[in-house]
Structure 1
């Protein structure tokens, strides 16, 4: 292992400019991927904020006994999808309308009879806020005999669901594209190193070195380049994050950066890309050297 490490490190000394160019290119490839990752996690956070506003409202028939509503609320709270349940009385509904619907404040003030019904408001747990689950819970609420109507903004929930799905698909496609670019770049640099050391490899074969013994330093070299490229991309991502957050401010002041496990994942991804690029390049071109 010490010999493999020494040979891999020697390749950096033999071609420092090529190695630096390789690491920089890998770093910028992963930087682009990392930037998209930052956009994705912040978009996911924004979507989570929207998801928290998903609410199912069951309007109660007038004259329903308070005990019936209390027992039903306890049953609803026991649903595995439900986070919390709230009850809004008729006077509370009217007061809320006067406060939130400013344009109708005068109309509500002049009313002799309160037209707004009482309601049960249901909020769902994280992971259960997709359109199908919301519809399922709403259907259960319709099963209560005292429920007059159930509303949850079907179109808004479906659009939120579609946005979540599109974000996931775009993320996978772009991530795979940049990963492929990084693998090609690493493969090209390893191939150049192979050609540069063709004479040395021929001598190693003459003295009986196996293919895996020859491949070892190149694979380790690719992994090291991927590691350094990953660290470099992480620094670039953090610099870009700070610059964008501090320059824009306002609604972007709450942007988040990668968690430690996500930073480690980006670095590990760089190492894996380095290994993949080396493995492909060495396997394809070693037999021609």
Structure 2
């Protein structure tokens, strides 16, 4: 293994321009994947932010007593899908309406009494905001004696769930397509780099070196080239992220494990491309 490492590093020194071009091509290929990942991650973040606003609102009868309301709150909080239940009084509901609907201030001033009902705002746990779960909590709230009506935006929840499914399927399909294109570009770049050293492979084979002994330095070199290309892709993606965030709109940066996965993918693809290229040249000298 020490020989393979020395030879891999020596390969960089012997042909720095060619190695740099190969790493650059790998970086550009993975940069396309990185941009797609940036878009996909921000779409997911946007959907999560919208989903976080999903809640069930139970409007209460005006004659509901404090004890009845407290019992309803405790029963809803006992549900494992519920994270919190907030009681909103009639006065608080009117204050919210005046704050959020300032264009109707004249209407509010002309009111002789408060027409808005008290309510219970049921907040759901993360991962429990799908249509089935929301409908389940709404059905539980509907049968409570103090509840007059329940609202949760059924159509809006269904559309959000459909949008998430469509976005997930589209991301998977496009991600696989971009990854395939990147793999082909990486393979081409590294095959060119190894083709330039075909004479070296030929000489090693003539002196009796085994295939595994010949292959290891090139595979390690391909892996390191892929890693270098991954670093280039991360740098280019970071520049694109900064430009978009500064001049267009805020963009959330990629999670660390996405970056680590992309870097490792570059190295693995580089190693696999090198294996294929070396195997081809070994067959030619048999």
Superposition TM-score, scaled by structure 1 size: 0.87
Change (3 A) 1:285 1:115: farther
1:262 aligned onto 2:258: yes
Q: Do the aligned partners of 2:33 and 2:182 also contact (CA within 8 Å) in 1?
A: no
Match of 1:287 in 2: 283
CA deviation map 1:208-253 (0-9, x unaligned) = 33222222122111111111001111111122222222223xxx24
Match of 2:267 in 1: 271
SS at match of 2:17: helix
Match of 2:46 in 1: 46
Match of 2:159 in 1: 159
Match of 1:221 in 2: 221
**Alpha-carbon offset, residue 174 of structure 1:** 2.6
Between the aligned partners of 1:42 and 1:72, the Cα distance in structure 2 is: 38
1:97 aligned onto 2:110: no
Between the aligned partners of 1:137 and 1:6, the Cα distance in structure 2 is: 64
Q: Do the aligned partners of 2:191 and 2:273 also contact (CA within 8 Å) in 1?
A: no
Between the aligned partners of 1:221 and 1:175, the Cα distance in structure 2 is: 27
> Is the deviation greater in 16-25 or in 167-176?
167-176
Match of 1:137 in 2: 137
SS at match of 2:121: strand
1:177 aligned onto 2:173: no
SS at match of 1:145: coil
Change (3 A) 1:190 1:39: closer
Q: Do the aligned partners of 2:85 and 2:123 also contact (CA within 8 Å) in 1?
A: yes
Change (3 A) 1:231 1:93: same
Unaligned runs of 5+ in 1: none
Between the aligned partners of 2:187 and 2:175, the Cα distance in structure 1 is: 18
Between the aligned partners of 1:95 and 1:84, the Cα distance in structure 2 is: 22
Between the aligned partners of 2:5 and 2:213, the Cα distance in structure 1 is: 12
1:23 aligned onto 2:50: no
Change (3 A) 1:193 1:235: closer
Between the aligned partners of 1:136 and 1:288, the Cα distance in structure 2 is: 67
Between the aligned partners of 1:134 and 1:209, the Cα distance in structure 2 is: 67
Q: Do the aligned partners of 2:222 and 2:267 also contact (CA within 8 Å) in 1?
A: yes
> Is the deviation greater in 215-224 or in 10-19?
10-19
Moved over 4 A (4+): none
Superposition TM-score, scaled by structure 2 size: 0.88
Between the aligned partners of 1:236 and 1:264, the Cα distance in structure 2 is: 15
Between the aligned partners of 1:214 and 1:256, the Cα distance in structure 2 is: 45
SS at match of 1:208: coil
> Is the deviation greater in 12-21 or in 85-94?
12-21
Q: Do the aligned partners of 1:30 and 1:230 also contact (CA within 8 Å) in 2?
A: yes
Two-structure CA RMSD over aligned residues (Å) = 2.3
Q: Do the aligned partners of 2:22 and 2:190 also contact (CA within 8 Å) in 1?
A: no
Between the aligned partners of 2:181 and 2:136, the Cα distance in structure 1 is: 44
SS at match of 1:144: coil
User: How many residues matched?
Assistant: 285
